[in-house]
Structure 1
Amino acid sequence: MLRKSWLLVCLCVAMWMMGAVSVSAEEHQQIKSDMKLELNGKPLQLDESYLIDNSLFVPYRWFAEGIGAEVSYEASSQKVTVQKNGLTVQLTIGSSEALVGGSIHKMVGPAQLINNSTFVHSRFLSEVFGIKVQYDEATRTVHLVSNIEQSSEKPASKTYYVTIEGFQFKGGNITVEAGSTIVFTNKDKVKHNAAAENGSFKTPFLATGESGSITLTEPGDYAYYCELHKNAMQGTITVK
């Protein structure tokens, strides 16, 4: 009788663990996206794209070539290289870190293989090359806007990334160059935003997985906070 009871307990624990694994897998499920992409008003043709944790991932080669970049892939190291206007970006499949012009930047999710193609975060790859990203929810269209008059000899403006997680601005106390873009991405289950104390900038309230960006052109210290959680969430951006 004791042996049967012990086997029953073991079976229940095993079923519970299998259920926990199943839930965990669903939390990171890849959902095929029906979003459309346009570059300077013209459709950007992609075979497929996916929403992963509410962030849009696109096939890097099609996307990079679509925005006028040169691309290469090294199978032995699973390293992706994208070059445009003298700026080199290197990504490694499975890693959330990107090497941008020699500096390490954190992405919202790792580059990854889907159906034998390499997919990357579309906003990161756009903004790192100075391309603005605007989303029209009514038409489910991502509009990419580049400065077509930009000289190839002029280096692209830098983009920095701040992750909102655990009611903190992770990497939020930073020093940037004038003209830099700062992208805030919310990973918490509640909404947050980033608002400057001097009123110079304010992002929309961001739901889980959403991003908002600002561009700072004037040197100075910009103290900022989340309007909904001001006492807990604060940071400072120094513009040189």
Structure 2
Amino acid sequence: MKKHIAAWIIGSSLLAALAVPAAAADHSMPMPMGGSLMASAEQVKSDMTITLNGSPLALDESYLIDDSLFVPYRAFAEGIGAEVGYEASSQTVTVTKGGKTVKLSIGSSAADVDGTQVTMVGPAQLINSTTFVHSRFLAEVFGVTVQYDSATRTVNLVTGSDQSVAKTYYINMQGFAFSDTDITVEAGSTIVFTNKDAVKHNAVADDGSFHTALLGAGESESVTLTQPGVYTYFCEPHKDFMKGKITVK
């Protein structure tokens, strides 16, 4: 009996000794730089379109992380007219525009804006060896207005004197007619066509500048007009009577 008790005590002691390092390991897991766990959040490749004053901004890719849009800092910053730099030893990104300097550290949610600490929604981070940053923060810190069109999943960046552009207008196709047959919009504006009829309609410019797909009931498609002028258009299946005009100023 004594032998059994001794064996049980030794076995229990060994289990306890093994358990202590395991528990310690659970609490010693390193945190990302800056104390943010966002770097481990799911990264979903974004299908959003990004424009600058109505023209597409050339980015190889962008990602949605916790529903926030992250973009490659160099392409994005240079796209809005900023100068960029990178210090490998400290993993620090520098963006300069109009006398303002922003410094970001990979893995940190803290940003240095002309010596003032600002907290971003998530840290700058590496994705496929490229540094990605929060798009809205980097745009707005340099005075760029950010407008989002949920119907077209388009992020419109507007700068300087053009901040009145990039508006969105809606034209319904209903009762075999366009709801607004003659509208005037600003250059860079987006027009969203939505079919409310049971039959298919589309919108085709007489000069070929835009041509939507044939839209079924409830379907939408948008066009962005960046050049001033008068655009007359029609619905192909009903071109004899279903017509409209858009004046871009």
TM-score norm. by structure 2 comes to: 0.50
Kindly provide the amino acid, as one letter, of the partner of residue 79 in structure 1: T
TM alignment of 1:66-81, pairs within 5 A: 66-81=79-94
Q: Which runs of 5+ in 2 are unaligned?
A: 1-7, 27-36, 164-249
Where do residues 41-190 of structure 1 align in structure 2 (5 Å cutoff)? 41-148=54-161
- Whether the aligned pair in 1 keeps the contact of 2:95 and 2:102 (CA below 8 Å) is yes
| Bigger Cα Rg | 2
Kindly tell me the number of residue pairs found equivalent between the two proteins.
134
| Greater helix fraction, Structure 1 or Structure 2 | 2
> Secondary structure, in 3 states, of the residue corresponding to 2:122?
coil
Q: Is the 8 A contact 2:104 2:111 kept in 1?
A: yes
SS in 2 for 1:138: coil
Aligned-pair CA distance for 1:28: 1.1
* Ranges in structure 1 where 5+ consecutive residues have no aligned partner: 18-23, 151-240
Identity of aligned residues (%): 66
On the 8 A contact 2:53/2:162 being kept in 1, the answer is: no
Runs (4+) off by over 3 Å: 24-27
- Show the 5 A alignment for 1:10-21: none
Cα deviation digits, residues 157-213 of structure 1 (max 9, x gap): xxxxxxxxxxxxxxxxxxxxxxxxxxxxxxxxxxxxxxxxxxxxxxxxxxxxxxxxx
Aligned CA distance change for structure 1 residues 133 and 149 (closer, same or farther; 3 Å)? closer
CA–CA separation in structure 1 for the residues paired with 2:94 and 2:58: 21
Counterpart of 2:137, as a letter, is F
Post-superposition offset of 1:29: 0.8
Indicate whether 1:37 and 2:50 are aligned: yes
Deviations 1:4-33 (A, max 9, x none): xx9xxx9xx99xx9xxxxxx9997111111
- CA apart distance, 1:110: 0.4
State the distance in 1 between where 2:39 and 2:89 align.
Answer: 30
Q: Give the SS at the match of 2:107.
A: coil
Q: In structure 2, what is the Cα distance between the partners aligned to 1:97 and 1:26?
A: 14
SS at match of 2:160: coil
